[in-house]
Amino acid sequence: MLEAWTGQQRDSIGTFIEVLRPTVSRHETLFSSPDRPEGVAVVAEGMSGEVQEHAYWGGMRDRIPLSQTDAMAPGGAPELICDGARLRVKAHDNLCLIRSGQDWSDTEASERKLYLDDVEPVLREGMDFLRDDGLAIGCYANRYMRVLAADGSVREKSYGQSWWKSLAALERWAESHPTHVKIFGAAMKYLSTLGPSAKLRLYHEVTVAAADEQFFEYLNCHPKTGMLAAVEKA
């Protein structure tokens, strides 16, 4: 697969591969509605019921099984390896990935307007901050994505995907950075306004990956593509 994707030049087109092979002990995922799995959860045979490790700062860490015995601190720094035109990033132990998604396809007119007018712009502002200025707080790269249907049409689903130096750096942003405080505040206002009738679906998945569970390779990409941003020379 790697050879087929980044093994050949394509005129004026950049290609890249970013792979994680997470183990259960280093992964957690959480859903507001368990009947529509996303990400790694689609291969699970089922889901648990409600969890106690939720709705408090530190719950994300507590849901990762390895956290019971390991602080999951980062080891080393990202390195750039050149293989001809291919650029490979060797990250480090305990690199953290979060993918956090929103699905408003079930909402009706008033709720959809509330989400798109009051919540989404604040979320986008935070995602843009992580994309443009996140490196200073430990976020190597961030993408804010809209999901496409099989026919190429834009669905009413989005997700943010970001690579972090450590779970601790992600926790600090989530707990106290002004951009996430605004996101959290907008979301809580939205949910408290609608209560149990809210049809917005939310989920996230977090992996703290060992060094041998990661692979990043880029060909003809701009220097801030994905993990290249972590090794970009000033």
Which is the catalytic residue, given 92, 180, 204, 222? 204
d(CA 89, CA 83): 11
Q: Is 204 a catalytic residue?
A: yes
Give Cα separations from 80 to 20, 156, 225 (angstroms): 18, 37, 13
- DSSP labels, the chain: -HHHHHSS-BTTB-EEEEEE---GGGEEEEESSTTS--GGGGGSS------SS-SSTTHHHHTSGGGGT-----BS--EEEEETTEEEEE--BTEEEEEEEEE-TT--HHHHHHIIIIIHHHHHHHHHHHHHHGGGGTEEEEEEEEEEPTTSPEEEEEEEEEEES-HHHHHHHHHH-HHHHHHHHHHHHHHHHHGGG---EEEEEEEEE-GGGEEEEEES--TTSGGGGGT---
Give the residue among 216, 231, 205, 161 at the shortest CA–CA distance from 40: 205
Instruction: Give the catalytic positions in this structure.
Output: 204
